[in-house]
């Protein structure tokens, strides 16, 4: 069984390490850094937006916000973003976590993750499409697709999510054209 947050905090707070990030090619920042002190555990875990579907903006979003929809899933593009293409796949109904999905929806999700990844990768000039799920912000089940450009070694790996906010946005015209191409590939 994992340690309690109090046990974990007591063990690590005085012994935080600084990984040699400044030596990593993918690390986006320059300059001297140190870890922030680790604050003690909170009384409760941080609540997410739209918990239990109450006041959930994703449940009430109109289909117009999405570039592809089906009976049970909807896909929207974020941006224009710094990375060439960033999209989010959402369940139409409110589910919180992947393990909450009924089996038929979980199976459908697997197929959709693969199709969407392929559709985005086929835009061309894409090195990788990262398929991610964090889910600490909004509770409504959502999956990230983050496409990084090919042949720019500094943009590989998980820092791509940070680079997305550093790179200036893709020109709107290109972005709209790419959305249309991904939508067409999914039909
Ligand atoms: Zn919802």
DSSP string, 16-30: -----GGG-TT----
Instruction: Please give the distance, rounded to the nearest whole angstrom, from the Cα atom of residue 180 to the centre of ligand 1.
Output: 26
CA distance readout (Å), 47 to 25, 44, 138, 139, 171: 35, 8, 9, 9, 36
Answer positive or negative: Cα dihedral of 104, 53, 161, 124: positive
Reply yes or no on whether the pLDDT at 32 is more than 90. Answer: no
- The pLDDT mean for the chain works out to 96
Instruction: Please give the distance, rounded to the nearest whole angstrom, from the Cα atom of residue 94 to the centre of ligand 1.
Output: 4
Instruction: Please give the distance, rounded to the nearest whole angstrom, from the Cα atom of residue 55 to the centre of ligand 1.
Output: 8
- Residues making up the chain, counted from first to last: 187
Report residue 124 as tokens: 């061309």
pLDDT at residue 36 in the model: 96
Confidence of residue 22 (pLDDT cuts 50, 70, 90): confident
Reply yes or no on whether the pLDDT at 125 is more than 90. Answer: yes
Mean pLDDT of 174-186: 98
pLDDT at residue 46 in the model: 95
Mean pLDDT of 45-49: 96
Instruction: Please give the distance, rounded to the nearest whole angstrom, from the Cα atom of residue 116 to the centre of ligand 1.
Output: 21
* Residues 147 and 128 sit within 8 Å (Cβ to Cβ): yes
pLDDT at residue 143 in the model: 98
Instruction: Please give the distance, rounded to the nearest whole angstrom, from the Cα atom of residue 163 to the centre of ligand 1.
Output: 28
Strand partners for 84: none
Mean pLDDT of 40-44: 97
Instruction: Please give the distance, rounded to the nearest whole angstrom, from the Cα atom of residue 50 to the centre of ligand 1.
Output: 6
Mean pLDDT of 111-121: 98
């Amino acid at each position: 069984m994992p340690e309690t947050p109090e046990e974990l905090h007591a063990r690590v707070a005085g012994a935080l390490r600084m990984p040699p990030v400044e030596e990593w090619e993918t690390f986006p920042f320059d300059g001297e850094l140190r870890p922030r002190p680790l604050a003690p555990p909170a009384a409760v875990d941080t609540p997410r937006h739209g918990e239990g579907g109450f006041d959930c903006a994703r449940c009430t979003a109109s289909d117009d916000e999405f570039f592809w929809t089906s009976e049970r899933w909807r896909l929207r593009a974020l941006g224009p973003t710094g990375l060439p293409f960033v999209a989010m796949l959402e369940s139409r109904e409110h589910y919180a976590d992947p393990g909450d999905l009924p089996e038929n929806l979980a199976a459908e999700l697997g197929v959709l993750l693969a199709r969407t990844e392929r559709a985005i990768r086929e835009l061309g000039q894409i090195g990788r499409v990262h398929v991610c799920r964090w889910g600490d912000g909004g509770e409504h089940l959502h999956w990230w697709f983050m496409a990084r450009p090919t042949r720019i070694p500094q943009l590989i790996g998980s820092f791509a999510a940070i680079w997305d906010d550093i790179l200036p946005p893709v020109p709107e015209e290109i972005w709209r054209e790419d959305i249309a191409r991904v939508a067409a590939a999914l039909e």
